[in-house]
Amino acid sequence: MRKRKWLNTGVALLAAVSLTLTGCGGKENGNLATGSASPAASAETTPSAAPNKDPIKLTMWGAVPAENGPQAVVDNWNKENPDIQVEYVRFVNDDAGNLKLDTALMSNQPVDMYVNYDFSLYEKRIKAGNALDLSPFADLNVDDKMGTGAALWKVEDKYYGVPTSKGLSFVWLNKDMLDAKGLPVPEEWGLDEFKQYANVLKGDKVWGAAQSDYYFNVPINGSMLKQSQYLTNADGVSAFDNPLTVKALQVYSDMMFQDKSLMPHTEQITSKPALDQMFVKGETAMLFSTQQIFRTTNNLKEYPRTFKVAAAPAPKVNKDQTDYINAGGLGDVLSINPHTKNPEAAWKFIKWYADIGMLPMAPGGRVPASKDFPADQAISLMFEGVEDTYDMDSIKRVMFGNKPLGLSRLDKKSGSEQQVIYDKIFSQKLTPEEGAKELARVHDKNLKAAQ
Amino acid sequence: MNWMQRQRLLGYVFIAPNLIGMTIFMLIPALFSFYLMFTDWVFANGQPPQFIGFGNFKRMIEDDLFAVSVRNTLLILIPVPISIMLGFLIAVMLNNRVYFQKTLRAFFFAPYFTSGIAIAFVWMVLFQPSSGPINAFLGSIGIADPPKWFASPDTAMYAVLIMMTAGGIGYNMIIYLAALQEISSEQLEAAKIDGATFGQLLRLIILPLVSPTTFFLMITGFIGSIKGFGMIYAITQGGPANSTTVFSIFAYKKAFNFYEMGYASAVSWTMFLLILGITLIQWAGQKKWVHY
């Protein structure tokens, strides 16, 4: 009987040990969660990046697949800097992938630097103490180097990450299809013209246009961005209920259900077509998306195509709109984890990455933001070996032009709840007028909740 | 240490890996989530959990999406008895002498050993509104405006129900086949000699004898359905317009889209209570129809 008790005690002890171990982990997490965002404390206790027998090891997390540039970046760095070796870890830039990164940041896994792609997540990481305040690193003036667009990434007037690339949304065009219909490459257009083009270009098993999921918000939000990054009116209430929103929703609805030139939205989100492949296969004449499509259009081996690719700016709601802000701006914001043991080494890498290091990212469509970056070199690398398959005039005009760019700071909850409303509008459960009111209602509700 | 004690020790050694795994990956997270459901904890915002009592439950009652998810969760219970019934009928058919018995058995069971996500994607293609084979067939027989299936808030849940019914048949069939093989042939022959028809055999002999199996399938089927997540999420993510949001998707979105771990824990424990309630009702009701 006594022995049995002993055995039971053993099992209980085993469980207790595992509990304690987990508890220890939890405690550490707790400390991390409330860790200071100030670099001063960690910098003081940090070993310097001076030459060392054992090289400093840094881990950088980013969402671009390693083979699309990042691996070449770290290989170049590691060759030049034997004392600081960087490893690249890829996370997928979706909810699950960002959760993985946030969990890694919270649980003291080796993350020395990471790339932010979304303002709300960036802001959240700052508030959670997971992004280092870069103010003490005085040897780089981010505003001066990256231009005025960088300030969009300031939180409480401080940088917690360095925006490294210029990104924007635009319309990819199958120039051969446009030529066949006698349509010029648009240099400036609104949704009416976009609709007209799609209607002319549609054909048997060819959509006139396709666009990334929920891209209707690009012209809608772009019409409000100038007055407020938070998409509000001067009085602080939601600006969504306006005639331009109604018009955008109506045009898209007509394209889906009247002209049948655009795949119905709910069909798209539930059948998940690979839009980039649709475009290179000639299954859609136009594709409204981002520059990440370069990964596909530049890869003629895996995605062969015979047509030329041209580009047009994102359509405004009305062609003559003067206060329109194009969705885009500076992005790929590289932050340092405050819990890194080597902030100086990480900073050294970031400066190099922004200035020259990200060159191998160019073929994947990454346009460097730094004014000191060898832009011509990046452009030639971007189109190396495939120049003839692009209408370079329109590509350069759109990608390197001087359109006003901006990013919205719409909160994630409103964005998510508005997706449900877009679903209802484009399954014809709500009229465009009702939809615009609903978009404003959920936005206002969340604005009030945040106060 | 005598033989008996050594045996006991050996028993503990054998269960230790599982016990440790269960404790670390199931028990501790479950207990932690029990604590979290009374807090407003948001993951990765740097704030410790604040105790808010039943605040999350109050919020749940006021949340329109919670009501939608309750309705949808109750709806996905419908495929359970239907797939049990179909599984039983196919098992009875395959238990008799039929041509291609083994091939048919493998055919019906195939969905069970295939990845649920792969099956979901097959259904996604089948139900594709503009180019899927189902709507092509409906069009060919003169239905001008066939349903949009997953792509419409009006029909997405029906498409889910069809997918889940079909998905459950194979497993139910195999379990029933095993149960049917256990029925003594003497009983069936005696009934036949007494002049029982096939219908009477089915109703009065076979069904009562496989009733423990039916009970098992009902319990596990309901639990599996309420917890159902992967196949629905793979296709619709709970949409369009939240029309296929069930409890598990609701909890997942709150936890992993918005990091609202306190609220998501409350939803998960409510789901547990629902499963427990339905299981207890079934358990109480079994006395009337399950014959051991």
Q: What is the pLDDT of residues A17-36, one digit of tens each?
A: 433 333 333 333 333 333 33
What are A360-400's pLDDT values in tens digits? 998 888 888 888 877 778 888 888 889 999 999 999 899 88
A105/B43 Cβ within 8 A: no
The answer to whether the beta carbons of residues A39 and A132 sit under 8 Å apart is yes
The CA distance from B114 to the nearest CA of chain A, in Å, is: 20
Of all residues in chain B, the one with the smallest CA distance to A21 is B24
Q: What pLDDT does residue A431 have?
A: 97
A272, A416, A429: residue with CB nearest B241 = A429
Instruction: Report if residue B1 sits inside a domain.
Output: no
Mutate to test the interface with A, among B20, B40, B117 (most CBs of A within 10 A): B20
Instruction: Report if residue B187 sits inside a domain.
Output: yes
The CA distance from A202 to the nearest CA of chain B, in Å, is: 15
Q: What pLDDT does residue A373 have?
A: 79
Residues of A in contact with B48 (CB under 8 A): 30, 33-34
Taking residues B254-272, report their average pLDDT: 94
The CA distance from B185 to the nearest CA of chain A, in Å, is: 47
- Ordered structural domains, chain A, with CATH: 49-166+329-382 (3.40.190.10)
Instruction: Report if residue B49 sits inside a domain.
Output: no
Say whether pLDDT at A280 is over 70. yes
In which domain, by residue range, is B229 found? 56-289
Q: What pLDDT does residue B236 have?
A: 93
Taking residues A220-240, report their average pLDDT: 94
B9, B45, B48: residue with CB nearest A30 = B48
For residue B51, give both structure tokens: 């105790």
Any residues with CB less than 8 A from the CB of A290 and at least 6 apart, and which? A167, A168, A169, A170, A212, A365
The answer to whether the beta carbons of residues A106 and A113 sit under 8 Å apart is no
The answer to whether A17 contacts chain B (CB < 8 Å) is no
Percentage of chain B lying above the pLDDT 90 cut:
77
Give the model's confidence band at B109: pLDDT under 50 very low, under 70 low, under 90 confident, else very high.
confident
What are B2-28's pLDDT values in tens digits? 899 999 999 999 999 999 999 999 999
Q: What pLDDT does residue A24 have?
A: 36
Taking residues B266-292, report their average pLDDT: 91
Q: SS in 3 state form for A27-51?
A: HHHHHHHCCCCCHHHHHHCCCCCCC
The answer to whether B257 contacts chain A (CB < 8 Å) is yes
Q: What pLDDT does residue B96 have?
A: 83
Of all residues in chain B, the one with the smallest CA distance to A129 is B46
The answer to whether B128 contacts chain A (CB < 8 Å) is yes
What are B172-202's pLDDT values in tens digits? 999 999 999 999 989 899 999 999 999 999 9
Taking residues A58-75, report their average pLDDT: 94
The answer to whether B129 contacts chain A (CB < 8 Å) is yes
In our burial notation (b when 16+ CB lie closer than 10 A, e otherwise), range A72-106 reads bbbebbeeebeebbbebbbbebebeebbbbbebbb
Q: What pLDDT does residue A16 have?
A: 39
Residues of B in contact with A339 (CB under 8 A): none
Taking residues A307-317, report their average pLDDT: 96
Q: What pLDDT does residue B290 have?
A: 87
Residues of B in contact with A130 (CB under 8 A): 44, 46
In our burial notation (b when 16+ CB lie closer than 10 A, e otherwise), range B183-215 reads eeeeeeeebeeeebeeeebeeebbeebbbebbb
B19, B241, B256: residue with CB nearest A99 = B256
Taking residues B70-93, report their average pLDDT: 95
For residue B192, give both structure tokens: 């036949």
The CA distance from B5 to the nearest CA of chain A, in Å, is: 8
Of all residues in chain B, the one with the smallest CA distance to A34 is B46
Residue A124 buriedness (CB in 10 A; 0-12 / 13-18 / 19+)? buried
What are A80-102's pLDDT values in tens digits? 999 999 999 999 998 889 999 99
Q: Are strands A326-336 and A367-368 parallel, antiparallel or unpaired?
A: unpaired
What are A142-180's pLDDT values in tens digits? 998 888 788 889 999 999 999 999 888 999 999 999 999
Instruction: Report if residue B8 sits inside a domain.
Output: no
Q: What pLDDT does residue B112 have?
A: 80
Say whether pLDDT at B33 is over 70. yes
Any residues with CB less than 8 A from the CB of A98 and at least 6 apart, and which? A91, A118, A121
CA distances (Å), origin A99, targets A121, A152, B203:
10, 24, 53
Structural domains in chain B (count): 1
The answer to whether B136 contacts chain A (CB < 8 Å) is no
B24/A267 Cβ within 8 A: no
Residues of B in contact with A11 (CB under 8 A): 12, 16, 19
- CA A165, CA A216: separation in Å to the nearest integer? 24
Give the model's confidence band at A52: pLDDT under 50 very low, under 70 low, under 90 confident, else very high.
low
Sign of the C-alpha dihedral, residues A323, A327, A332, A338? positive
The CA distance from A258 to the nearest CA of chain B, in Å, is: 15
CA distances (Å), origin A320, targets A188, A189, A191, A205, A327:
9, 8, 11, 33, 17
Question: Which residues, listed in sequence order, are joined to residue A163 by a DSSP beta bridge?
Answer: A333
Taking residues A45-58, report their average pLDDT: 63
Residues of B in contact with A7 (CB under 8 A): 5, 8-9, 12
ipTM for the complex shown:
0.85
Candidate ranges A34-48, A399-413, B266-280; pick with highest mean pLDDT:
B266-280
Instruction: Report if residue B24 sits inside a domain.
Output: no
Instruction: Report if residue B98 sits inside a domain.
Output: yes
Residues of B in contact with A272 (CB under 8 A): 124
- CA A408, CA B228: separation in Å to the nearest integer? 36
Any residues with CB less than 8 A from the CB of A12 and at least 6 apart, and which? none
What are B219-251's pLDDT values in tens digits? 999 999 988 898 999 999 998 999 999 999 999
Residues of A in contact with B237 (CB under 8 A): 269
B235, B240, B258: residue with CB nearest A413 = B258
B24, B125, B257: residue with CB nearest A416 = B257
B44/A128 Cβ within 8 A: yes
Mutate to test the interface with B, among A266, A268, A417, A430 (most CBs of B within 10 A): A266
B156/A270 Cβ within 8 A: yes
B16/A14 Cβ within 8 A: yes
Of all residues in chain A, the one with the smallest CA distance to B234 is A270
The answer to whether B93 contacts chain A (CB < 8 Å) is no
- CA A450, CA A141: separation in Å to the nearest integer? 32
What are A178-220's pLDDT values in tens digits? 999 999 999 999 999 999 999 999 999 999 999 999 999 999 9
Q: What pLDDT does residue B99 have?
A: 79
The answer to whether A124 contacts chain B (CB < 8 Å) is yes
Residues of B in contact with A99 (CB under 8 A): 256, 259
B5/A129 Cβ within 8 A: no
B23/A10 Cβ within 8 A: no
Q: What pLDDT does residue A429 have?
A: 94
Mutate to test the interface with B, among A24, A100, A271 (most CBs of B within 10 A): A271
Residues of A in contact with B24 (CB under 8 A): 18, 22
Question: What's chain A's average pLDDT?
Answer: 87
Say whether pLDDT at A37 is over 70. no
Q: What pLDDT does residue B1 have?
A: 77
The CATH number of the domain holding residue B177 is 1.10.3720.10
The answer to whether A2 contacts chain B (CB < 8 Å) is no
Question: What's chain B's average pLDDT?
Answer: 92
Residue B240, preceding peptide bond in cis (omega within 30° of 0): yes
Residues of B in contact with A420 (CB under 8 A): 239, 241-242
B44/A124 Cβ within 8 A: yes
B125, B153, B258: residue with CB nearest A429 = B153
A271/B19 Cβ within 8 A: no
Residues of B in contact with A413 (CB under 8 A): 258
